[in-house]
Amino acid sequence: MFQKFAALLVVATLFCGPGLADEKAEQAIINAIETDYSRMLLTLEQSVNINSGTMNFAGVAQVGALYAKELDELGFKTDWIDGADFGRAGHLIASHGTKGPKILLIGHLDTVFAKTDDFQTFEPLNNERVKGPGITDMKGGDIIIIAALRALKAADVLDDVSIKIVMTGDEESSGRPLAKSKKALIDAAIWADIALGFEDGDGNIKTAVIARRGSVGWTLNVTGKAAHSSQIFTNDVGYGAVLEAARILDGYRQALSTMPNLSFNPGRIVGGTRIGKGDSANTGTAFGKSNVVAQTLKVTGGIRALSPEQLKEAQVKMQAITADNLLHTSAILTFDEGYPSMGPTEANKKLLGLYSAVSQSFGYGEVMAVNPRKAGAADISFTAGYVDAALDGLGLMGTGGHTKDETADMSTLKRNTTKAAVLIYRLSLGG
């Protein structure tokens, strides 16, 4: 696969110089983005003001319909994939073109803010900043996708490249099973040569993402021997579930905390004489007394790794620690399905180099790779194993993602739209 991308890259690089046709096309792209800016802002405001928390299915579909209308006007074929089979609203799919390199553009429609949240509206602030739910994660990125394509069409170069867009409705909380919820992404990746993601990365316009750590959930169930606390540590009673869990978790800490780019986190723990489920998936109940040795305990958490090999190494270490039980205790560690990793391949680095060259040609400065520790899991990771090259973090930049202070730096909107559109144009020259 890499050979095909390498050929595209060589041609794209050669055409970055001051050729007359190239200059005219790129100037037309810039002019179109400038002309279109007020429309970009309006559509961004409209979409931010629609609540599309992942479980607000109607809101997610409404944002999808808003974007589909924009893409329909550009001549794209749009489809809505219903999410009933994976417990979510669904996904917006759009496609255009039959020649040139095949490029997949990735966005998502949902946010972390529920319909009942009090953070709901687009709010302009000072110094080219706007606050709003999902404005950077990632409705701003969705707007950049649409605006970049509109600019390519205005410059009469959109037909020189084949584009497929997948905007998922469950990036913030994936539907299950993943085989169904991510099928549209994976099918598009199998078709594509290159994947471009429009998340906001680490919020810095001087960076983009060539590597993302995978994210996998884990559950630890620990059992001890219930007894009067006066008999703890004896040969008949042993150490109980709580102390065994403490040993295991500290063992994980010692074994994993020094592995580069890997992190694990026990996010919830509940234990005692008996435990039960709470009102939601992230809550629990427990009964226990200070004079009774704890009989049962449950820990849930997550682990992030930069490669499948690193994840496997960590899992082996965790299982060995889990199995070395204290007297009269037992423990079982299980792993969930999760997000795969997106490794820092040579092809990804070369694609970043081309993107950086575009940025520098417009006086925006060099673009460097994000430290993987600063980039969370994202949909592009499901595509990385199928495409020749992948690059993410091309969206609207800002701060406060996933909080009520989520704020966009609007000075990055036109710049990143220009960079994305010209990157796609230069890639098309190798088609």
* Mean pLDDT on 369-376: 88
User: Is pLDDT above 90 for 280?
Assistant: no
Residue 289 CB-density burial (10 A; 0-12 exposed, 13-18 middle, 19+ buried): exposed
In CATH, what is the architecture of 221-335? 2-Layer Sandwich (3.30)
Q: DSSP per residue over 19-51, as a string?
A: -HHHHHHHHHHHHHHHHHHHHHHHHHHHHHTS-
Q: Supply 239's token pair.
A: 């150490």
pLDDT band at 20 (very low <50, low <70, confident <90, very high): very low
Q: What is the pLDDT of residue 240?
A: 98
CA separation, residue 367 to residues 141, 381, 415 (Å) = 17, 20, 12
DSSP state of 84: G
CA 321 to CA 332: how far, in whole Å?
11
Contact in structure between 427 and 389 (CB atoms under 8 Å): no
pLDDT band at 10 (very low <50, low <70, confident <90, very high): low
Superfamily name and number for 2-212+342-428: Zn peptidases (3.40.630.10)
User: Is pLDDT above 50 for 21?
Assistant: no
The model's pTM = 0.89
Sketch the domain layout of the chain as residue ranges. 2-212+342-428, 221-335
Q: Do domains 2-212+342-428 and 221-335 have the same CATH topology?
A: no
pLDDT digits (tens, 9 = 90+) for 92-150: 999 999 999 999 999 999 999 999 999 999 999 999 999 999 999 999 999 999 999 99
Give the count of beta carbons closer than 10 Å to the beta carbon of residue 65: 14
CA 95 to CA 162: how far, in whole Å?
8
pLDDT digits (tens, 9 = 90+) for 22-57: 889 999 999 999 999 999 999 999 999 999 999 999
